[in-house]
Structure 1
Amino acid sequence: MAIFGHILGAVLVGAALVVPGGAAADTPRIEWAPCAGDRAVECGVLRVPVDWSRPGGATFGLAVARHRATDPERRVGVLAVNIGGGPGTDFVQAEARGYFGAEILARFDVVGFDPRGTGRSAPVRCSADIVRREPLPTPRDQADFDRLRAYGAELAADCRRRTGPVADHLDTVSVVRDLDAVRAALGERTLSYYGVSAGTLTGQQYAELFGRRIRAMALDSVVDHSLPTGRFLHGQAANAEDAFGAFARWCDAEKACALHGRDVGRVWDGLMARADRGALRDPALPGRVISAFDLATEAHLGGFMEPSYKWFGERIASLESGRPGPRGVVRGQPGPEVREVEHPAPAACQDWRLDIPDYRRWAAYAARMRRAAPHMRTHPDTQPLALACALWPVTSANPQHRLKAADGTPTILLVNARHDPAAGHGWARDVRRQLGRSGVLVTYEGAGHGVYQRTACTRRTIDDYLLHLRVPADGTRCPR
């Protein structure tokens, strides 16, 4: 693990000394003004160090947004939110009031920030021309593998040049230090936190460093950051296959599925075989030939959320018959007019140290994934991440390790769908074990990624915990 800058029990924020549990008089503050996108929400900027090991060095502006508690006399405090690692200021302006219930909005200042490298917080900048040339992450031999390595080196150098020194400090530990600087700047002794997906890793690592500064923490769709390369890849492929199985069982049970009464696995395998031959064409986009990896990507990005099941059944039926049907989900590419784009690899690869030195090792991992996922074959989000980070020419600053919450951390609430294609239930169980007495796990007995809004049970469980510190029994289940 990295050195986190603890000095005699105090933490440096900017150039000011902040004593744990309070804020010094010279702690940097956030100057608030109405947001341009929603004047009912306040926006501001907090200067934080580029490199937290050099708190007196260069700084950048961290974008922050706040929706004030609508019932200030009953205000509980700050609820910091991180909905998957993207720009939190956009979430607070455009989505928070539709996402959270009235009582959360009444009693918390809901605060979001753009994690460093995203949105308005020194965003990563990369050449759109290079991104448009990105090879498919499906190497067939060592020559393909070497081309991926060369591409990664070119992209990394370009992103570093365009983004500047902050590109070297995008790991989650640095994001956690930024979050604690926001807490201090707000004058709060503690904060409550709600994180989803990648935002759960920020929460876990905040608990490692600043557990006593947590009032309550709810982590929804939990990332396990303890896995070595082989277990990471194998487990994610199994998660994708589990999500496919949940969809197939829905089709068996529901007449609304366009494939009801048929063997969904056999239909799907037939499509994958056609894709292998280069014979699977998209009825909704004439001229587009769909690869097996494209097909798996459609399932993962669009088909494995319960509200999308009916659409996905119709999509598969259309692909099989060739008759017109719904459009699929296609990974986007920047348009020809775009010159620079954000790219996730510079940040993600500082958190994942993955060991894939050559094609031979990759082929062995790919074979294991295919055995774990006979229908899906792989996990179409994890495969690109794994190859990109294994070949990224920068050493991970925050490699995988078992979670160890700091002494004094309150009970952390974990919530996860039983069939989550992106963060499988096994991940949540593993993190629960790592937390020991500091964690409880509640399971939504359905499918999808992000469960807060799924049912009255999931919403009530999280709201009661955040508002009233009512910790549910470990192992509680919320039905579909």
Structure 2
Amino acid sequence: MVLDTALDDTTTPTERIRREAATAEEAFDRFTAWCSASTDCALHGKDTAAEYDALVTRADRTPIPTADGSRALTGEDIRAATQDYLTLSGVTWPALAQAVVKAQAGDASDFTYEPDDTLDPVQVQVPACLDTARPVAGFDQLTRLRNDLARISPHLGGAVRSWTALTGCLGWPVPAHPVTAGTPVHGAPPALIVQSTHQALAPHSAGLAMAAQLPGSVVLSREGDDYSMFLLSQCVRDATNRYLTTRALPAPGTTCTD
């Protein structure tokens, strides 16, 4: 197996949400730093974080319509759509800045779809509700967790995929049957796990946690902010092709910098 951006399922569900929220917030901070430095950012020359926060506040007060008039987006809608805009710095970062500018002008359409269209929402929700323990049973618990996430993630407010999955499981009539995680898998060949040093979906440490469950596996790090690293890095492509054809893994600790 070649795993591009592993997730860490060895922690509790609430701790996983906290870590993902912190990781997405760091990615947002790196996006705003890029906007300050790059003229390719539609918000260049402005305080990008302040512009984003003001847009979210405005949308929470008065939802912003989409071009076709089918719906109007709240600030929470905008936050929930932001994480996936942070996964490909060369493509989706410019698109996020343009989406903010467009929404400021009164059209929030660009926040109504996910830049990554490879996952069906039902495909994501079902295992989240059936394979994972449900740490929240009511509104009071949910509010306390959300307040915690707001401290961890002041711009995005913790509106990450794990939060969407958790809230989507509230009220499910079918009980969860959690899958035991964290124990080594025996009999499987070593895997190649490719993990960015900075990424909006999972911290770098998640790759190491996954490798520990697959004995002999190696984490190939890539310096950067991106998901789908096979598409972006010749170093990652070379290591992946070598592994898939010869099963030879890179040396532990190897980092791609291209």
- The TM-score with structure 2 as length reference comes to 0.85
Secondary structure of 1:349's counterpart equals helix
Secondary structure of 2:134's counterpart equals coil
Relative to structure 1, is the Cα distance of residues 331 and 274 closer, same or farther in structure 2, using a 3 angstrom cutoff? same
One-letter identity of the residue aligned with 1:376: L
Partner of 2:239: 461
Partner of 2:61: 277
Contact 2:60/2:76 (8 A) holds in 1: no
Tell me how far apart the structure 1 counterparts of residues 94 and 121 of structure 2 sit (CA, whole Å).
Answer: 33
Q: CA deviation at 1:354?
A: 1.9
**1:232-290 deviation per Cα after TM superposition (whole angstroms, max 9, x unaligned):** 22112112212212211221221111111222111111112112212x52464557432
One-letter identity of the residue aligned with 1:365: L
**1:53-83 deviation per Cα after TM superposition (whole angstroms, max 9, x unaligned):** xxxxxxxxxxxxxxxxxxxxxxxxxxxxxxx
1:233 to 17, 32, 48: 17
Using CA pairs below 8 Å that are at least 6 residues apart, which structure has the higher relative contact order? 2
Relative to structure 1, is the Cα distance of residues 254 and 285 closer, same or farther in structure 2, using a 3 angstrom cutoff? farther
Partner of 1:425: 204
Tell me how far apart the structure 1 counterparts of residues 129 and 170 of structure 2 sit (CA, whole Å).
Answer: 8
Partner of 2:112: 330
One-letter identity of the residue aligned with 1:242: E
Which of the pair is proportionally richer in helix? 2
Q: Confirm or deny that 1:384 pairs with 2:168.
A: no
Tell me how far apart the structure 2 counterparts of residues 220 and 415 of structure 1 sit (CA, whole Å).
Answer: 5
One-letter identity of the residue aligned with 1:419: H
Relative to structure 1, is the Cα distance of residues 448 and 391 closer, same or farther in structure 2, using a 3 angstrom cutoff? farther
Partner of 2:102: 318
Return the index of the structure with the highest Cα Rg. 1
Relative to structure 1, is the Cα distance of residues 255 and 224 closer, same or farther in structure 2, using a 3 angstrom cutoff? same
Tell me how far apart the structure 1 counterparts of residues 65 and 26 of structure 2 sit (CA, whole Å).
Answer: 26
**1:400-430 deviation per Cα after TM superposition (whole angstroms, max 9, x unaligned):** 4213121x54432111122332233232232
Contact 2:128/2:166 (8 A) holds in 1: no
Tell me how far apart the structure 2 counterparts of residues 328 and 423 of structure 1 sit (CA, whole Å).
Answer: 24
Q: Confirm or deny that 1:394 pairs with 2:174.
A: yes
Contact 2:191/2:211 (8 A) holds in 1: no
Unaligned runs of 5+ in 2: 115-119
Tell me how far apart the structure 1 counterparts of residues 106 and 40 of structure 2 sit (CA, whole Å).
Answer: 19
Tell me how far apart the structure 2 counterparts of residues 357 and 421 of structure 1 sit (CA, whole Å).
Answer: 27
Partner of 1:443: 221
Partner of 1:224: 8
Relative to structure 1, is the Cα distance of residues 386 and 400 closer, same or farther in structure 2, using a 3 angstrom cutoff? farther
Partner of 1:55: none
Counterpart mapping for 1:359-374 below 5 A: 359-374=139-154
Tell me how far apart the structure 1 counterparts of residues 97 and 182 of structure 2 sit (CA, whole Å).
Answer: 39
Partner of 2:117: none
**1:355-397 deviation per Cα after TM superposition (whole angstroms, max 9, x unaligned):** 2122121111111111111110013322221123354232333
**1:170-201 deviation per Cα after TM superposition (whole angstroms, max 9, x unaligned):** xxxxxxxxxxxxxxxxxxxxxxxxxxxxxxxx
Relative to structure 1, is the Cα distance of residues 292 and 400 closer, same or farther in structure 2, using a 3 angstrom cutoff? farther
Contact 1:350/1:396 (8 A) holds in 2: yes
Tell me how far apart the structure 2 counterparts of residues 359 and 290 of structure 1 sit (CA, whole Å).
Answer: 23
- The TM-score with structure 1 as length reference comes to 0.48
Contact 2:20/2:160 (8 A) holds in 1: no
Partner of 1:108: none
Tell me how far apart the structure 1 counterparts of residues 32 and 152 of structure 2 sit (CA, whole Å).
Answer: 17
Contact 1:240/1:300 (8 A) holds in 2: yes
**1:69-104 deviation per Cα after TM superposition (whole angstroms, max 9, x unaligned):** xxxxxxxxxxxxxxxxxxxxxxxxxxxxxxxxxxxx
One-letter identity of the residue aligned with 1:289: A
Secondary structure of 1:343's counterpart equals helix
1:411 to 180, 190, 193: 190
Tell me how far apart the structure 1 counterparts of residues 201 and 170 of structure 2 sit (CA, whole Å).
Answer: 20
Q: CA deviation at 1:323?
A: 6.5
Tell me how far apart the structure 1 counterparts of residues 121 and 155 of structure 2 sit (CA, whole Å).
Answer: 32
Unaligned runs of 5+ in 1: 1-216, 333-340
Tell me how far apart the structure 2 counterparts of residues 329 and 318 of structure 1 sit (CA, whole Å).
Answer: 10
Tell me how far apart the structure 1 counterparts of residues 121 and 212 of structure 2 sit (CA, whole Å).
Answer: 35
Partner of 1:292: 75
Tell me how far apart the structure 2 counterparts of residues 275 and 478 of structure 1 sit (CA, whole Å).
Answer: 40
Q: CA deviation at 1:342?
A: 8.5
